[in-house]
Amino acid sequence: MFIKQLYTGCLSEAAYYIESEGEAAIIDPLRDTAGYVDLANARKASIRYIFETHFHADFVSGHLDLQKATGAPIVYGPSTETNFPIHLAKDGELFKLGKLTIEVIHTPGHTLESTCYLLRDEQNAAYALFTGDTLFVGDVGRPDLSSGNLSKEELASMLFDSLQQKVATLPDEVLVYPAHGAGSSCGKNLGPETHSTIGEQKKTNYALQPQTREAFIKAVTDGLGLPPQYFPINARINKEGYDSLDGILQQGLTPLSVDEFKALAKDEEVIVLDTRPASQFTEQFVPGSIFIGLEGRFAEWAGSLLPFEKPIILVTEPGQEEESVVRLARVGFSKMQGYLKGGIEAWKAAGEQIDLIIDVEADELAMDLPFDNNLVVVDVRRETEFADGHVAGAVNLPLNEMTDPGTMANIQETQNLYVHCAGGYRSVIASSLLKRQGIHNLHNVLGGWNAIKGQKGIDTVKENSVLN
C-alpha cells in the first residue's frame, strides 16, 4: 500500500494518490493533472479510478482532463448529476484496487452529493477515510454551498447525521485525510494539520462532540461569512465541464511584444494582471495594472476580485508565465490572452510610462498621524480582523468587498491615504485597485497591522461588540 498526499498551499487543497499492486486511484485532483500521471508512470502503475468527494467550489477539478489522459472512470457518490459521463456510485459500493478496497460512504451535509471514501487494507480492516469537505482537522465543511435548494440549516442537519452515524462510528485509529487545510474558505476555522485520526477528532473537533442536533446546527452555521464570489462559478464548472487546460495554456502563454501588449491594454474590457512579488510591483508597474502576487493566496484572490468574463493579459517575473496561467485556470479563468514578453524591463526599455506605490514603514505613519488632518488610515482586513484591533479612526474597507467601485465612494483623491492589511500582501492588491479607480494619493504600510500594533504613537482600539 502506498498513499501520497499532494498538497497545494495556495489553495490549501489536498489531492491523494493511492496505489496497490500497480493500480492507482486519484482523489480530488487539481486541474493540472500531469503530476498525477507522472507519479503513476514513475511508479510503473496505471491510474484505474478518479474519485471525487463532491462538486468543489474553491477550485476546478482535474477529473475531465485526467479521464481523457488515462481512460479511468470518474466516480461520484449518490445524488450526483453531471453533464458528462460518470460512474454514479451507490452508498456502500466497493472498488478493488490491487489488494485494497475502497468503500463509498455517502455523507451529505456540506453538499448533497458529498461522499467520503474509506480505504480498507489487505486484511479488509478500515485504514483511512478520505473525507473531502465533510470533515476537516478541527472543523467541518460549511453547509451553505449546496447546489440544491436546501437551507444551510437543513444541510447542517444532514451533516449531523452523516458525522454521527457514519464517520464517528469508525475505529479511532482510522486516519483522516481531508481535502483542505488551514486557510481554506470551505470551513470556518480549519486546524494547521492536514491529516489526523478519527479518535483525535472525536476528542478535539467541536463538530464531533456529543451534542443535540440543534446545538450542532447552531455551532456549524453561526459566524459563517459570505463565501468567495467565485465559489458558485467553480461548482458549476465542475458539474457542467470545461475546456481542456492544454488549450488555455496555449493561448495564455502567447508572448506579446510591448506594442501588442499596449494595444490590448487600451481595451477597457482587458484586465492587466501583475503576478510579481509585492515588493517588485510597488516599485514599478504598468499603469492600470491589478496586482495579485503569486507569493500569497493568489488563486483565491483572483477568483474573488477579477471578472471571469473579461480577457486577461499578464505581467510576470521571467519564468513565472506558466505558473500564473495554471493557477488562474485552477479557479476557472480561461480567457488569458498572453503575457508581456520581457516583463516590466521590456516595458521600461521601450520608454513606456510606469506607475508606482509609495511604501512606508509603520513609524512613518506614527510620525504623520498627529500632524496631517487629511490623513486617513484605510484598513483592508476583514471585519472580524478589524474588530479585534485597529488604528483609532481607521476606515475599514475589506479587500473582498472591493469588487464594486461603489465601495470606494467615500474615499477622496484629496485625502492622504495610508493603506494596510495584516502583513502587507492584501494592502498592495487594494492599493492597485484604488489606483485603477483614479485614487493615487496613497501609501502602502509595510508589515501592515503586525508592524502597526506595537508602534509607539499610534492609538489602537478594539470593538468587542462586533466580536461577541
Q: Which helix (H) or strand (E) holds 5?
A: strand 2-8
pLDDT of residue 189: 81
Is the pLDDT assigned to residue 285 strictly greater than 50? yes
- 321 vs 126: CA distance, rounded Å: 44
Please list the alpha-helical segments (H only) found in 223-284.
231-240, 245-252, 258-265, 278-283
Strand residue runs (E) in 384-461: 390-391, 395-396, 416-420, 442-445, 460-461
Is the pLDDT assigned to residue 450 strictly greater than 80? yes
Mean pLDDT of the chain: 94
- 162 vs 104: CA distance, rounded Å: 13
pLDDT of residue 147: 60
The tens digit of pLDDT for each residue in 186-225 reads 888 888 999 999 999 999 999 999 999 999 999 999 988 8
Strand partners, 275: none
The tens digit of pLDDT for each residue in 227-282 reads 888 999 999 999 999 988 999 999 999 999 999 999 999 999 999 999 999 999 99
| CA nearest neighbour of 437 among 414, 413, 420, 458 | 413
Report the amino acid identity of residue 10: C
| Long-range contacts (CB closer than 8 Å, 24 or more residues apart) made by 392-398 | 392/459, 392/460, 392/461, 397/430
- 301 vs 230: CA distance, rounded Å: 10
| CA nearest neighbour of 6 among 98, 130, 145 | 130
| Correct CATH for 243-349 of 3.30.10.20, 3.40.50.720, 1.10.3720.10, 3.40.250.10 | 3.40.250.10
CA angle 24, 50, 45 (to 5 degrees): 20
> Where are the domains positioned within the chain?
2-231, 243-349, 358-467
Give residue 170's Cα distance to chain centre.
Answer: 30
Residues ≥6 apart with Cβ < 8 Å to 273: 289, 290, 292, 302, 306, 312, 313, 314, 315, 324
Q: What mean pLDDT do residues 68-87 have?
A: 96
The tens digit of pLDDT for each residue in 156-178 reads 999 999 999 999 999 999 999 99
Write down the CATH superfamily of domain 358-467: Rhodanese-like domain (3.40.250.10)
Is the pLDDT assigned to residue 409 strictly greater than 70? no
- 276 vs 280: CA distance, rounded Å: 6
Domain 243-349 and domain 358-467, same fold? Reply is yes
> Top-level CATH class of 2-231?
alpha beta
CA dihedral over 341, 346, 352, 355, signed as positive or negative: positive
- For cell 510610462, the residue is 353
Please check whether residue 176 is in contact with residue 137, taking contact to mean a CB–CB distance below 8 angstroms.
yes
pLDDT above 70: percentage of residues in the chain: 97
pLDDT of residue 407: 66
Please list the alpha-helical segments (H only) found in 181-293.
198-204, 213-221, 231-240, 245-252, 258-265, 278-283
pLDDT of residue 468: 40
| CA nearest neighbour of 99 among 133, 135, 137, 127 | 127
Q: How many CA atoms lie within 13 A of 40 on its CB side?
A: 25
- 411 vs 434: CA distance, rounded Å: 9
pLDDT of residue 415: 86
Is the pLDDT assigned to residue 101 strictly greater than 60? yes
Give residue 17's Cα distance to chain centre.
Answer: 21
